């Protein structure tokens, strides 16, 4: 099976059309791991949510 390009992607025209989220993490000097959930709108790069915690539940 060959890889194919996706032709079904929409063109985004407004700031709320597409958003992205992901986790960043770092270890403190005490050994505890701090995670930050980042969420931002892809077109405008506006980030309304930065949620930092030591643990996150699903």
Helix (H, G, I), strand (E, B), or coil: what is residue 12? coil
pTM of the model as a whole: 0.51
pLDDT tens for residues 46-56? 777 777 777 76
pLDDT for residue 17: 73
pLDDT tens for residues 1-45? 677 776 676 777 766 677 788 888 888 899 888 888 888 877 777
CA distance 36 to 50: 6
pLDDT for residue 40: 80
Q: Which of 17, 35, 18 is nearest to 26 (CA)?
A: 35
């Amino acid at each position: 099976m060959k890889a194919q390009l996706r032709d079904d992607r929409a063109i985004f025209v407004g700031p709320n059309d597409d958003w992205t989220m992901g986790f960043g993490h770092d270890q403190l000097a005490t050994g505890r791991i701090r995670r930050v959930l980042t969420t931002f709108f892809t077109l405008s790069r506006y980030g309304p949510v930065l949620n930092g915690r030591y643990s996150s539940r699903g």
